[in-house]
A = this chain, B = another copy of it.
């Protein structure tokens, strides 16, 4: 199954939409801000001549407020850095918003007029001859998978990606025996109970995908360009040490309670595997060195509580009244429902995520559950 055909964050702006349930991702964007600002400063001060046209890409921009928030912060960082260096800012900024074909770009575009107004007000710029285009930012949407070519050759100076590259391009092959029976029985992701061949298959798929990402960006980026990748990963080479798949394990548990009540077939669960992989720094470094076009400038890691970012939801009355378990369940649903629906059907979704909320609430009452978020900053070498 190709991720490109099935994965998208929940569309629109309704109760179960990604737009309304992406506060953890927003929190992670704020963690990435410093690395982004540093990378932009380095791009601008490493050149003698000012940049005329600067190409900026956000890979896996999603929909909802996070999408344009990232771009706003990047544009502000460019102006702030130019100001600090006492150099003219790039004359034109080409802002490419990338996500899969099925992403809700309509939702992103609806906020573009106010994005342009905000940017031009901040920068006191009125170079564009139209009320909606008071900025020198040319925003476009580039739909497609970032594990392949997306942009013209040597057109990009800065690539940003947050909460995206933990998604693989496809569910790895080799997760079934020769009779078509699932080898990752009772699980839907890597877990402590997964056999070795499953870990291997996932790891191989990640290597293939990540090297495609590097090769594609290598062709698209200019010399000295920078790439900041932020994503959910794991702490060490051991696949299961830091509970980095525990959000999936609980979802598998919720599915198995439905199996035990005859609401879902066991085989359906055994044959489902999520295209998600939590990589570690050592793995990334090996692939980066093998591909050869990029150099690691810096890397850092943060622990992010499962309920982090939820304070950002307190404005919202409905979400404010919910338990942490329910809120985490909504966040998870907004991100993964599309692939689950495709396999299990729409009819079990409400029930599944209600059960999931209870399991998460119970888990959070016993422990401080955390994600391990990695940020790596790369420089294009040649």
Contact = CB atoms under 8 A, between A and B. Distances in A.
A139 B128 CA distance: 24
A65 to B, nearest CB: 16
A344 to B, nearest CB: 23
A105 interface: yes
A93 to B, nearest CB: 9
A208 to B, nearest CB: 11
Contacts of A216: 129
A379 to B, nearest CB: 23
A109 B105 contact: yes
Range, interface on chain A: 35 or more
Interface in A80-131: 91-92, 94, 96, 101-106, 109-110, 112-113, 128-131
A130 to B, nearest CB: 3
Given A104-B106, A106-B105, A140-B140, A113 B4 contact: yes
Given A130-B145, A130-B212, A138 B151 contact: yes
A215 interface: yes
B138 A150 contact: yes
A53 interface: yes
A132 B212 contact: no
A25 B140 CA distance: 25
Nearest to A100: B109
A142 interface: yes
A50 interface: no
A234 to B, nearest CB: 27
Nearest to A92: B152
A148 interface: yes
28 contacts: A2-B131, A4-B132, A5-B113, A53-B152, A92-B152, A101-B109, A101-B110, A101-B113, A102-B106, A102-B110, A104-B106, A105-B106, A105-B141, A109-B141, A109-B143, A112-B144, A128-B148, A129-B212, A129-B216, A130-B145, A130-B149, A133-B145, A138-B142, A138-B149, A138-B151, A138-B152, A140-B140, A140-B143
Interface of A: 2, 4-5, 53, 91-92, 94, 96, 101-106, 109-110, 112-113, 128-133, 138-145, 147-153, 212, 215-216
Interchain residue pairs A-B with the least CB separation, the first 4: A130-B148, A140-B140, A141-B141, A133-B148
